Amino acid sequence: MAILSRASRIALPLLAVALLVTSPAHLPAQTPPATGPQEARVVGLFVDPSGQHPAIVLQGKRDKRSFAMGIGAAEATGIAFPLENRVPPRPLTHDLFLTLFGRLKVTVTKVIVTDLRDGIYYATVVLDASGREMQLDSRPSDAIALAIRAKAPVLVEDRVFDKSEVLPAPEAPRI
């Protein structure tokens, strides 16, 4: 019969507990990763230095993936004004649409960036018209400009993040 040292008698029960806790049979079931559209936030607008084209950066709230999407100059202006809480002297097209929607008792409930095919992004504007859902095909930049003004969520399908060139996460500041 082997005689265990005092240190071994203490270490063995701790090892047994560690093995029990980390064995697959005792671990909680792994939840599958969430799928489907996730809410995203507009991180910002910038001008691509190589081509001098505006772009918008979206970041998923669930998984923090980010991507940049090229947009036109007019669309960049349409997004920048509400992001900066600025009111143009005359209504922009997106303001006009929201005024029209309001008078028709239609609300923007959400927008979804649905796909990226052949370098082109696609989106849907989801409206509520007296309790009836309506979906409109839209350019993502117009959909986002409407959503920001209407304070409606911007959603992005996971496949768009998967197909886009994902931007690296910003580095943490060094102390």
| Token pair of 96 as six digits | 């006009």
Distance CA 139, CA 33 (A): 28
Give me the phi and psi of 11, to 5 degrees please.
-70, -40
Residue 104 contacts residue 171 (beta carbons within 8 Å): no
Domain boundaries of the chain, sorted by first residue:
38-165
Q: What is the pLDDT of residue 160?
A: 96
Prediction pTM value: 0.76
Bridge partner list, 39:
155
Q: What is the pLDDT of residue 13?
A: 37
Mind giving me the DSSP string for 61-123?
TTT--EEEEE--HHHHHHHHHHHTT---SS--HHHHHHHHHHHTTEEEEEEEEEEEETTEEEE
Task: Provide CATH code, domain 38-165.
Answer: 3.10.690.10
Per-residue confidence in pLDDT tens, the chain, 175 aa: 444 334 334 333 333 333 333 334 444 444 445 677 999 999 999 988 777 889 999 999 999 999 999 999 999 999 999 999 998 899 999 999 999 999 999 999 999 999 999 999 999 999 999 999 999 999 999 999 999 999 999 999 999 999 998 776 655 445 5
In the Cβ-directed half-sphere of 9, how many Cα atoms lie within 13 Å?
A: 5
Q: What is the pLDDT of residue 36?
A: 79
In the Cβ-directed half-sphere of 12, how many Cα atoms lie within 13 Å?
A: 6
